[in-house]
Chains A and B, each alone.
Chain A
């Protein structure tokens, strides 16, 4: 069953298959990667270079994806709103996971995610030694910064799916 964001994009003609390649907005190519293998990749980088480096990579990957989407959306701003639903949808179609809750107040934004295709195998393989959540926390932070035009966010990983939590939760203080 194709889920809602995919259906929505199909109706809008935003996501098409062309010559066996998946393209968003008719120009953005996607490449796929096995989720468990990506958990292993992230863990390997963490073991070699540590948490700060992983955070730097999360920021690079998140900003790259978010800037590309922002630029594409700016070209068709009458069609797509830059609201939190859009951010959630873009994060999901980017393959960074399905955000369960997105709560905002004046000072902070809280994101919760569970049943994540990379965090789940990471928990199985590396339990609480996994740092994959910190990588994803940075990716989501990059989307918030770019789409809400916020220069700096303080990110706190308040609940961890790899450390006996049912879900991961990050708080982004503005």
Chain B
């Protein structure tokens, strides 16, 4: 598919516009594009120096602002939870956040189980650092707050139960799903 078709398709989905060198979602929210490798090295260094929990918090704060900005400027996520789930799936994939599959979700119980594959930053980090990096913690933070704000999953703090960086076929993140965390 050419970039023209890609952009047209994204525009048809009312997602992305490129104006005067600035990439905008729905023409209203500025986004920046990073080469996956550069983002992977940036996050790896932060995780190495300040730890996985800090990376998670960083993602959580960034995700909170991102979610608020979408609500403020676009009025997104005022829909039913299944509709919001479709929006999030499509949006994250288009933004280069990998392919997410929500397998179980009970919002009221704060329960969610999801898998993630083909995340460009995590894939680059795996190639370069193998299991010695924790870059996924930032994205776990981002997904946690989006699950809480947009999918109404109460007190959602995703924990990692499988990880591509450690050789698993996919990342598996959950909140309040496994009675005993099988955290690797």
Interface residues of A (CB under 8 A from B): 1-3, 5-6, 9-10, 15-18, 20-22, 24, 28-38, 40-41, 44-45, 48-49, 53, 56-57, 60-62, 64-65, 68-69, 92-96, 98, 115, 117-118, 121
Contact = CB atoms under 8 A, between A and B. Distances in A.
B97 A31 contact: yes
B42 A57 contact: yes
Given A3-B20, A16-B2, A21-B118, 8 more contacts: A1-B20, A15-B3, A20-B6, A31-B97, A41-B61, A48-B54, A53-B49, A95-B33
Given A3-B21, A92-B21, A65 B35 contact: yes
Interface in B11-49: 18-23, 29-42, 45-46, 49
A68 B123 contact: no
B1 A65 contact: no
B35 A17 contact: no
9 contacts: A22-B6, A31-B39, A32-B34, A32-B96, A33-B34, A35-B30, A36-B29, A56-B45, A95-B32
B34 A31 contact: yes
Contact of A65 (B2, B32, B37): B37
Contacts of B123: 29
A98 B62 contact: no
A36 B49 contact: no
B66 interface: yes
B53 interface: no
A-B residue pairs, 8 tightest by C-beta = A17-B6, A29-B120, A31-B96, A95-B33, A35-B30, A98-B21, A37-B62, A117-B30
B3 A64 contact: no
Contacts of A3: 18-21
B80 interface: no
B30 A60 contact: no
Interface string B148-174: 000000000000000000000000000
